[in-house]
Structure 1
C-alpha cells in the first residue's frame, strides 16, 4: 500500500464508499488492497459481493434508509465493545427498519455478547427468512448455537456459511473449534489452517491451532512452517503504523474497577489507586 494509506484505512474507505453507493470507488479500493495482500479475506469478500450482488450487501434503498453517521455510530460501539449501548442503538433502528439485514447483524452480535441468546436467535431466524443467502447471518447464528453448546446446530450453520462464502476465514475457525470439541482433530487442523491461509494475520486462528498442535504426539514439518508464518505475521503487524481510533462522538461514562484484590499490594494497584483518587 502507498505510505499515505494503510491496508486498514483502504478497507475502511471501501466500506464507506460502498455504504454511500459509490461502488466504483469501493471496487477500486478493494482491488488496491488485493494487489498488496492477494489473500486478504475482507477485500476478496467485498469484491465478490460487488460483482455477484450477494444478499447481505446494503442495497441502494437500505443505504438511503440509514445515514452514514448511523452506520458509523453502530460500528464504533461494536469496536469499543459497548454492547449494551449497541443493543439500544441498533434495536431503535431495527424497530423501524427490520428489513435491513445489517441491523439484524449489529443487534444479534450485541445480544450474543450479553448472553441474551434466545432473543438473538429470534432476530437471526427472522433475518435468515428474508435473506437466506447471507453467509454472515449463518455465521452469527452458528456462534449463538455454540454458546448454547448445541454443537450439531452450530456446525450446520458454519458449514452453511462456508457454502455461501468459501473465503470466510472466521467461519473456518469456528468450524475448526467444533471439530476440536467433537474430537475430529484432523478436520480441526485442516480448518484452522484454511482460516490462516485466507487471513494470514488471523492471530486468533494461529493461537487455536498452536494450542491444538501442542497436544499432538508428533510434530510435523507443517507445524514448523506454520510457526514461521506466524512469526512473519507478527513482524508485519509490529511494523504497521497506528493511524486512527474509532470512537463515538458522545462518550459513555468511564467505568473503572479492580480486576483482583491481589492488586492492592502490587505496583499497578498503587498506581491505579492514585489515578482514581484524582
Structure 2
C-alpha cells in the first residue's frame, strides 16, 4: 500500500522520502456506526433507532529512515510540513492497484526522538469527518444534464415558421461504489424555478422564485448543504419539501425541469463513487 499525505509519500520505494509503514493500518475498514437506542419504560425490551456512520479515525505507524542524521532531520521536517496545514488530502493505492481518496484533518503526528541517527518511529492520526472512502482511479466523474420536456409543437402555433420544441430524457448517473455519495451540481444560464429530481428515489431539489440570466451560475453542494448564485448564498429560495439528496449505489435517473419553456439552462453533476471501506 502506498499512501500520500498532502503529496508526501509513505511506503513508496520510488519516493525520495524513505518513510515506511508498520502493521496494522487502522481506520480504513468500515467507519464506526452511531446508533440511537434505549430501553422501553414499563415493559421488556428496548428500541434501536436510525443508524449513521460516524467520523473515521485513521492511524498510521511506521519509521522514517535516512543515511545520516542530517537526512533524518530533513525528512522529519518535510513530514511535519506536509501535515501541519490542518486539512489533509489522503490518497491510497492498494497492492491490488485500486486508488482511493479520503478528506481528513490532522489529529496528531508524534515522532519521538530516539538514540538512532538513521531512523525514527512515528504515529500519524487523522480524523475524517466524512467517513466515505472515494474512488480516485479515474478522477472526478461528471455528467451533463439539460431540461427535460415532452417535446412537440409550441401552442399557439406560429405558422411562419412552425417552432418545434425538442424533447428530453432524464440523465443516467452511476455510482459504482457501495455507499451513497453526495454530488455537486452546477447550473449555468437562464432558468426559472429550477427543480432537480432523482427519479430513482423520488427526491427533489427546488429553487422556487429564482430567475437567472445568461452567464449566471448556480452551484449546489449536496454534502455541505450550500447553494450559491455567482458565489453568494441563495438558500432562501429552497422549498421546505426539498431534499439534499445523494446518489445511491448503482444507477440514478436525474431530471432537470424549469417552468419556462424558453429556458436554456445547462447543468453538470460532479461526483466520486464511494465505498464503506477498503
Q: TM-score, normalization: structure 2?
A: 0.25
Query: Larger radius of gyration, structure 1 or 2?
Result: 2
More strand by share: 2
Name the structure, 1 or 2, with higher relative contact order (CA <8 Å, separation 6+): 2
